[in-house]
Amino acid sequence: MAKTKVAKPKHKNLGRKKAIAGYIFISPFIIGFLAFMLKPLCESFMMSLSDVKVVGGKGGFVLNFWGLKNFKQAFLVDAEFTRFLTTELTTMLTHVPATIIISFFMALILNQSFKGRTLARAIFFLPVILSSGVLVGLEYNNSLLSGMEEYIKENTNASEITATLQSILSTTGLGSRYLETVYNIVNSLYDVVIASGIQIIIFLSGLQTIPKSMFEAATIEGCTAWEGFWKITLPMVSSVILVNVIYTIVDFFMKSNSQVMTKITDTMVMRLDYGFSAAMAWVYFLAVMLIIGLFSLITSRWVYYYE
């Protein structure tokens, strides 16, 4: 008696095809990581556990293993590293949510139909161009901007746009800690906008995958625009929010003006202390991975995947 083959469900075959396609897309990164990054990563970890001596002549390093001494120096001896790391982590708690919220609402606006939408999208993508290469140097060496800053300081005795407002509201005693958080976000608004270009594009791609028929059906059933936002738009782009959260965290910790990154670079280049700089880099890396893991664990509970 011939055996009949049981056909696999189509949704399993589709899921398998999507998984294979995903692995194909990330395969260049996996190959590049194994070929170019794995060995330096292992060598960096060995340096963090050793006293590294630079050998003259032909060049090279001599590693004298001494355990966790470099890590103890980072936490117990060095007075700057823990302070810089704490400052970065505290700033991240306000910077990342502000970037996600602003980029999401900008994407909502740019997803609407209006004249000049293509030009508006290009303008909001300009921060990605401005934050790259030579333009960063032009921005920081801009004599006009520095002259304006000096003029404001001389004539208003304030270096931040919210300083006057802060001095007025602080006398009322109304939630000074919360007001200070708002002041920090407002003062860093330029940095937030500069860092939100990629997130806006990712949010736009997520918003454009939502079927219009869902909104049409909801409207027929009497759903308002506000209810549609919470019941349709937000759940449908929840997976994109998770991606943007992870990207924004990594982008924040990798910015060029990070105090921790500057200290690690100066220790390695100026002092030639490769062991201590490698230890600080690994602490920084593990802190970033811990933050990403916590955010992913919290955010993934509200992620909805549309099949």
Helix (H) or strand (E) holding 177: helix 176-187
Q: For residue 5, report the phi and psi dihedrals to the nearest 5 degrees.
A: -80, 135
pLDDT at 10 over 60: no
Q: Which amino acid is at 139?
A: E
Confidence of residue 28 (pLDDT cuts 50, 70, 90): very high
- Chain segment 77-115, per-residue pLDDT in tens: 888 888 998 988 888 888 888 889 888 988 888 888 777
Identify the pLDDT of residue 198.
83
Q: May I ask the CATH architecture of the domain 70-131+195-302?
A: Orthogonal Bundle (1.10)
Q: Which amino acid is at 286?
A: L
Identify the pLDDT of residue 286.
92
Residues 6 or more apart in contact with residue 73 via CB below 8 angstroms: 276, 279
pLDDT at 126 over 60: yes
Task: Count CB-CB contacts under 10 A for residue 22.
Answer: 10
Tell me the mean pLDDT in the region 260-287: 88
CA distance 206 to 238: 9
- Chain segment 221-234, per-residue pLDDT in tens: 888 888 888 888 88
Would you say 180 and 188 are in contact if contact means Cβ atoms under 8 Å apart? Answer: no
- Nearest-5° Cα angle at 250, 31 to 161: 150
Identify the pLDDT of residue 283.
92
Q: Where are the domains of the chain?
A: 70-131+195-302
Identify the pLDDT of residue 183.
63
